[in-house]
Amino acid sequence: MKYPGGFTKKGNSQVNYANRGMNFEADINITNDYYRDMDIAVIYKKPTPITINKVDYKSRVDAVIKEAHFNTPSTTDYNGIYKGKYIDFEAKETKLNYFPLSNIHQHQIEHLKKIIKHGGIGFILVNFKNLDKIYLLEGTKLFSFIESNERKSIPLEYFEKFGYLIKPKFNPRIDYLNIIDSIYFGGMV
Amino acid sequence: MKYPGGFTKKGNSQVNYANRGMNFEADINITNDYYRDMDIAVIYKKPTPITINKVDYKSRVDAVIKEAHFNTPSTTDYNGIYKGKYIDFEAKETKLNYFPLSNIHQHQIEHLKKIIKHGGIGFILVNFKNLDKIYLLEGTKLFSFIESNERKSIPLEYFEKFGYLIKPKFNPRIDYLNIIDSIYFGGMV
């Protein structure tokens, strides 16, 4: 089971498995680092939202949070700027051959709707782990599926038809801005 | 002394003073809530960046962070979208009659430079607490001060001359988008 912040439960022990099973998130972060280093875009993952209850203060640099809780995120995980446009997306992965809508919070969907309404570019990235396929699905396509379906999950075929397959590359690893270029800026895929 | 996350030291006790002395941040959050509720803009404060070391897992909702540290922020605190434009700013307050540049991290300045270079709107809000005056200073004006001065602080006169005084209002409390309108969208102040 995956917990917010990339932690995984294992018995009673408290182990940080941040680098295991987190390859998708890590690869997106590395991709964003690449975009920033190459001065292509400025896009960051937001910190995990938490509520802090207790802090031990030794010195400013030594302050240790002793009790905090994970909050339900009210926005998506990633945002920034590309070619003057506001970019906003959520990244999810599944081992299934379809995408359960329960993977994405209702207020994240509402957030993406607002972003697009205000002139931003909003989408989701879905990693179908067992198929080794990553799709970009525009927010509008996500909303139209939800509005026209009773189904609780989006079949792979919908991604194949309305989404964009992100081809694997070494650098940047998950080149989603290449897709954004082709959709919004008339670039080449 | 103020610590990240709005905590204040008091002896050895661990007390959350988030609602005391944090009025500026709280007022900005309320302003952003207003902008969102009125469908004017979608702007959020980013969560405080932390590194989590230990988590106790009882259930997903019960997960308690038992040890974490504050990270130095690599970006500004606030970003979002307004009238199709990417908005990015940092908010600081001082009790002095000038603004010490040590209040703002070098990488936050670099971040604002990148944002403006990529076509976004970047600025700082500075609350001169004892003067009860809040100024908006565009990133470009901040950079030009730093580049043409050896001084370690920006005098109030610089804000008076090159910044924009934000007039107090009940709702929204700190109407910085009114200023952004006048600068970038030809609106009325």
Task: Give residue B21's pLDDT.
Answer: 44
A189 — contact with chain B (CB < 8 Å)? Answer: no
> Looking at CA atoms only, how far is residue A129 from chain B in angstroms?
23
Nearest to A125 by CA among A21, A20, A24: A24
Q: In this structure, which amino acid lies at residue A158?
A: Y
Q: Would residue B2 count as lying in a domain? A: no
Q: Would residue B152 count as lying in a domain? A: yes
> Which of A14, A32, A52 has the highest number of chain B CBs within 10 A, making it the mutation to test binding with B?
A52
What is the rounded distance in angstroms from the CA atom of residue A63 to the CA atom of residue A3?
Answer: 24
Lowest model confidence (mean pLDDT) among A88-92, A149-153, B106-110: A149-153
Residue A6 has pLDDT above 60, yes or no: no
Torsion of CA B83, B177, A108, A147, to 10 degrees: -40
Spatial neighbors of B108 by CB under 8 A, at least 6 apart, are B73, B75, B76, B90
DSSP alpha helix (H) spans, chain A: 23-37, 106-117, 139-148, 156-162, 176-184
Q: What is the mean pLDDT of residues B96-107?
A: 95
Q: Would residue B7 count as lying in a domain? A: no
> Looking at CA atoms only, how far is residue B151 from chain A in angstroms?
25
How many independent structural domains does chain B possess?
1
% of chain A at pLDDT higher than 70: 85
Q: In this structure, which amino acid lies at residue A12?
A: N
Q: Would residue A189 count as lying in a domain? A: no
Q: Would residue A93 count as lying in a domain? A: yes
% of chain B at pLDDT higher than 70: 85
Residues 112-151 of B with CB under 8 A from A: 114-115, 117-120
Task: Give the CATH number for residue A104.
Answer: 3.40.1350.10
Which residues of chain B neighbour A74 with C-beta distances below 8 Å?
Answer: 44
Structure tokens at B59: 């259930």
Q: Would residue A124 count as lying in a domain? A: yes
Q: Would residue A36 count as lying in a domain? A: yes
Which value does ipTM take for this structure? 0.85
Q: Would residue B173 count as lying in a domain? A: yes
List, for residues B31-52, the tens digit of each pLDDT value.
999 999 999 999 999 998 888 8
Indicate the average pLDDT of chain B: 88
Q: Residue B91 sits in which domain range?
A: 12-184
Which band of pLDDT confidence, cut at 50, 70 and 90, is reported for residue A184?
very high
Q: What is the mean pLDDT of residues A125-138?
A: 97
Write out the H or E segment, with its range, that includes residue B160: helix B156-162
Which residues of chain B neighbour A59 with C-beta distances below 8 Å?
Answer: none
List, for residues B104-118, the tens digit of each pLDDT value.
999 999 999 999 999
